[in-house]
Amino acid sequence: MKDSSTDTDATLAFGRFLKFWRSVHKVSQEQLAALINFSPRHISRLENGVSRPSLSMANDIASALCLGQRDSNHLLIAAGFVPKLSQLDFQAPELKWLRKAMTLSLRALDPYPAMVVNDFNDILMVNRGWVGLYTQTITKAALDQVTNNYEFLFSRDGVGIFISGWEDTLSVILMSLEQKTLFSNDPRDRTMRDRLAKHKNVPSDWRQRASKLEPMSSFRMQINLNGEIKKFINVQSTVSTLGPAAVLSGPSLHINTLYPEDHALDLWQFCSSDLNHPLLSD
């Protein structure tokens, strides 16, 4: 016999959110119905899971209850709709505390190369370990021009030549962007997807390759340091909104860090005090 408890929970999720936020703002079913021009009976049916809202109705309810982006998106997700995400203005004065926290995080990771990127993989900050390592492989002038980690990874003039098994790795990265584009329908995601797919080092069968591989939060790279090939693991961690749908309910930041497979490799040797880069965190 099929267990219907999961289906019931999913059906009632929107109703639970709706009832919760009405209670928070002390809005009755009758008052909410008047605000969005629907009947109180329909509001009751929504809360009981008998009916589901349209997208416009879900947005009207979020507006009527004065919900912010995070809570509006939770309501939309519970109703089965794609959430609306705004881009994080990392340089906004009110986010000084966040920039400070990211600076301290990057400093703590030295000498391991690390960067902070946004949801579009724009590089917001780098640490001394990142600048020191890559100045061993590409010119300072070229490194100073790096602003997007996707472009940096895909470019054969950047670090694309150093990724181990780059055909599969880049295919999976590109597929993750393809899936993001299908989900968001954001013009910026589409533009980035199309631009990266045209890179000459992307295999023509990248979709087929990626369909057979699972997404990765890390991948291996190898870098030529002083004539020796050194292997690294790239690990991504995410800083996102608190909540049941953290990555979807608001903009996220991501910290990408390189760790050497050889624990004896001394990366402090590249972290000289005279390093500089436009995005260096300190």
Residue 159: band (very low, low, confident or very high) from pLDDT cuts 50, 70, 90:
low
The pTM of the full predicted model, rounded to 2 decimals, is 0.73
Domains and CATH numbers, the chain: 5-78 (1.10.260.40), 93-270 (3.30.450)
Which stretches does DSSP call E strand in 65-202?
114-117, 123-126
Q: Give the tokens for residue 139.
A: 């010119």
Over residues 138-154, the mean pLDDT reads: 88
Residue 156: band (very low, low, confident or very high) from pLDDT cuts 50, 70, 90:
low
| Cβ atoms of 152 and 158 closer than 8 Å | yes
Q: Give the tokens for residue 23.
A: 């209670």
The CA angle 174-128-237, to the nearest 5 degrees, is 40
Rounded distance, CA 170 to CA 177, Å? 11
pLDDT tens by residue, 29-76: 999 999 999 999 999 999 998 888 999 999 999 999 999 888 888 899
DSSP 158: T
Rounded distance, CA 137 to CA 214, Å? 30
